[in-house]
């Protein structure tokens, strides 16, 4: 088969692809800094410890510069026949990943420095994982989606195992690794079938090919199912969520925040790319709505229901957030179940939910980290009476939890509103039924979020221990940033959500 490559290179028709350096600048900047941190670690060893975290923050801020200049330039760019695309959707997602990464660095600074593990590699791995994510936002080709997925996953496996002499951290890493690799293997099998059925790895060409036939061939059906299932693991949708609670509990908490927000969002970005470029019907064609819509419907309904019911009986805050994350994945998947009928609305709803979810969930984990600095535990019972000795943290946690529950005027409310809007406007019975699922589940979820809130405000602290929690500056900045975004998104949605998430996905090459 390799003989096939030679004639291509030898043929006169081979043209070196144009490289748009400005479009690739965010990735290249982050790659440069990531390599720099790794090299400094190798060369300076212990002396590099002081500068690793500041350098990582600088790297992420520097990566924002080309993202902003690309946004100001405002034109859609595309390279490699449409395999790498920079449009407003991918820029929003890149900005979200970089900001989420920045918040995770802020949350990690003291946590990692106070553990007795090597610190420099942590930031190198974190940056390469974020590099995979911002690459994913631009990937419109099966190969680049696969490479981006692995680039973001492989460092995350190592980060989950970070406390390497701790049995729980080992277990967290192993479960995450086995599930993640198994999922990506299944996803790859699906990709190979899709490539076989359509003869191309470019999502645009796959769309043209799969949408042609009135009835899908078995190979296309299998391919789509396997690919979607592979990413369902990544976003921890029911019934593929089994790794999530254990991995979240055993990993270092900043890594848990990173996995539950950035890594999950990257899985969603990949799903959005696949669905909205690869599968959805465009230009009057039907696409393959008949396959992915029912699949997404089942995944969404099952995730939100099962996630919420299992969250009800959790006694550990991190596990509670893990199951609530499963339910949130269900809400985010819901618009995809009507993507064929109202593609623009569904995309906007998913993007809005992703951005707001990132802010509020990172914030909730920041509070967990802050409280654990005093209590050394993440049990829900240790949050009782928090208001009596840490009123600021209590207010912040209440904001994040109520936002996750979808209470106005916080960000989570506008996110759920957008999802409901898309589901209702699809004007299909499936969409309306899913809307009912979302509504009922929001009520169930309110119970366990509010139970934590009630404990913090109304009950007495265990043992009457009222020494205040010492919140370091960087953690305080992370909390302020996420709380401000969560509130701003809900209070002035027209100005912020409307301007930043009303995006379109560049489909063509």
Partner 1 sequence: MLLNQFLLLSAVLFCIGVYGVLARKNGVLVLMSIELILNAVNINLVAFAALNTDALNTDVSGDVFALFTIAVAAAEVGIGLAIVLLIYRNRRSIDLSEIDLMKG
Nearest distance from residue 210's CB to partner 1, in Å?
15
Distance of CA 211 to the CA centre of its chain: 29
Cα 53 to Cα 106: distance, rounded to the nearest angstrom: 8
Residue 215: both structure tokens together:
């009835």
SS (H, E, C) 221-234: HHHHHHHHHHHHHH
Mark the segment that binds partner 1 (CB under 8 A) among 29-37, 187-195, 399-407, 484-492.
Answer: 187-195
- Interacting residues with partner 1 between 247 and 266 (CB under 8 A): 249-250
Asked if 128 and 34 touch (Cβ cutoff 8 Å), the reply is yes
Mark the segment that binds partner 1 (CB under 8 A) among 146-154, 295-303, 333-341, 458-466.
Answer: 146-154
Cα 31 to Cα 22: distance, rounded to the nearest angstrom: 14
What pairs with residue 139 in β-bridges? 84
Residue 5 touches partner 1, criterion: CB under 8 A = yes
Residue 314 touches partner 1, criterion: CB under 8 A = no
Asked if 61 and 105 touch (Cβ cutoff 8 Å), the reply is no
Closer residue to partner 1 (CB): 27 or 249: 249
Can you spell out the DSSP letters for 399-421? HHHHHHHT-TTSHHHHHHHHHHH
Closer residue to partner 1 (CB): 163 or 418: 163
Cα 224 to Cα 293: distance, rounded to the nearest angstrom: 11
Q: Which one of residues 29, 38, 138, 161 is an interface residue with partner 1 (CB under 8 A)?
A: 161
Closer residue to partner 1 (CB): 182 or 457: 182
Q: Which one of residues 26, 34, 66, 173 is an interface residue with partner 1 (CB under 8 A)?
A: 173
Nearest of 400, 370, 321 to residue 471 by alpha carbon:
370
Around Cβ 182, how many Cβ atoms within 10 Å? 14
Nearest distance from residue 150's CB to partner 1, in Å?
5
Closer residue to partner 1 (CB): 58 or 309: 309
Cα 453 to Cα 54: distance, rounded to the nearest angstrom: 34
Closer residue to partner 1 (CB): 175 or 345: 175
Closer residue to partner 1 (CB): 238 or 400: 238
Nearest distance from residue 185's CB to partner 1, in Å?
4
Phi, psi of 19 (to 5 degrees): -110, 125
Residue 174 touches partner 1, criterion: CB under 8 A = yes
Asked if 348 and 359 touch (Cβ cutoff 8 Å), the reply is no
Closer residue to partner 1 (CB): 50 or 168: 168
DSSP H helical ranges for 334-410: 343-375, 386-389, 391-405
Residue 181 touches partner 1, criterion: CB under 8 A = yes
Q: Which one of residues 165, 215, 376, 499 is an interface residue with partner 1 (CB under 8 A)?
A: 165
Nearest of 461, 451, 355 to residue 137 by alpha carbon:
355
- Interacting residues with partner 1 between 189 and 228 (CB under 8 A): 189, 191-193, 195-196, 199-201
Looking up tokens 């990132």, which residue turns up?
Answer: 358
Sign of CA dihedral 180, 185, 190, 192: positive
Closer residue to partner 1 (CB): 240 or 292: 240
How many residues line the site for partner 1 (CB under 8 A)?
49
Mark the segment that binds partner 1 (CB under 8 A) among 108-116, 174-182, 262-270, 416-424.
Answer: 174-182
Mark the segment that binds partner 1 (CB under 8 A) among 51-59, 60-68, 186-194, 409-417.
Answer: 186-194
Residue 313 touches partner 1, criterion: CB under 8 A = no
Nearest of 359, 371, 263 to residue 317 by alpha carbon:
371
- Rule CB under 8 A: which residues touch partner 1? 1-2, 4-5, 7-8, 142-143, 146-147, 150, 154, 157-158, 161, 164-165, 167-168, 170-175, 177-178, 181-182, 184-186, 188-189, 191-193, 195-196, 199-201, 242-246, 249-250
């Amino acid at each position: 088969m390799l003989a096939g490559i030679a004639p291509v290179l030898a043929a006169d028709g081979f043209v070196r692809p144009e490289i748009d350096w400005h479009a690739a600048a965010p990735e290249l900047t982050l790659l440069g800094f990531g390599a720099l941190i790794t090299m400094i670690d190798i060369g300076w060893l212990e002396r590099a410890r002081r500068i690793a975290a500041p350098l990582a923050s600088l790297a992420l801020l520097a990566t924002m510069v080309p993202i902003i200049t690309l946004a100001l330039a405002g034109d859609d760019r595309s390279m490699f026949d449409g395999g790498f695309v920079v449009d407003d959707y991918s820029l929003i997602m890149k900005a979200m990943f970089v900001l989420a990464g920045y918040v995770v660095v802020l949350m990690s600074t003291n946590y990692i420095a106070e553990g007795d593990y090597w610190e420099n590699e942590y930031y190198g791995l974190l940056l390469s994982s974020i590099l995979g994510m911002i690459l994913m936002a631009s990937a419109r080709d099966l190969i680049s989606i696969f490479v981006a997925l692995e680039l973001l996953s492989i460092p995350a496996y190592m980060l989950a195992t970070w406390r390497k002499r701790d049995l729980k951290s080992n277990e967290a890493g192993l479960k995450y690794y086995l599930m993640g690799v198994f999922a990506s293997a299944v996803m790859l099998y699906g990709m190979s079938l899709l490539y076989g059925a359509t003869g191309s790895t470019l999502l645009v060409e796959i769309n043209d090919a799969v949408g042609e036939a009135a009835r899908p061939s078995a190979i296309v059906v299998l391919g789509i199912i396997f690919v979607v299932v592979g990413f369902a693991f990544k976003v921890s949708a029911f019934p593929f969520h089994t790794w999530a609670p254990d991995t979240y509990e055993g990993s270092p908490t900043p890594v848990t925040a990173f996995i539950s927000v950035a890594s999950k969002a990257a899985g969603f970005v990949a799903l959005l790319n696949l669905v909205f470029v690869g599968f959805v019907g465009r230009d009057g064609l039907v696409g393959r709505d008949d396959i992915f819509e029912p699949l997404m419907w089942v995944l969404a309904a099952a995730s939100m229901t099962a996630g919420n019911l299992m969250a009800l009986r959790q006694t550990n805050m991190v596990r509670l957030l893990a199951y609530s994350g499963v339910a949130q994945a269900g809400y985010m998947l819901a618009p995809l179940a009507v993507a064929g009928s109202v593609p623009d609305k569904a995309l906007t709803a998913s993007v809005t939910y992703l951005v707001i979810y990132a802010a509020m969930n990172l914030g909730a984990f920041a509070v967990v980290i802050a409280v654990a600095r005093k209590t050394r535990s993440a049990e829900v019972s240790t949050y009782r009476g928090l208001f009596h000795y840490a009123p600021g943290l209590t207010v912040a946690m209440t904001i994040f939890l109520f936002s996750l529950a979808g209470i106005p005027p916080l960000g989570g409310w506008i996110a759920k509103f957008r999802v409901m809007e898309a589901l209702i406007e699809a004007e299909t019975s499936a969409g309306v039924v899913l809307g009912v699922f979302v509504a009922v589940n929001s009520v169930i979820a309110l119970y366990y979020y509010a139970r934590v809130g009630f404990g913090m405000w109304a009950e007495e602290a265990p043992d009457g221990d009222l020494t205040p929690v010492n919140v370091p500056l960087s953690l305080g900045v992370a909390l302020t940033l996420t709380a401000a975004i969560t509130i701003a998104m809900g209070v002035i949605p027209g100005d912020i959500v409307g301007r930043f998430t009303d995006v379109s996905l560049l489909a063509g090459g």
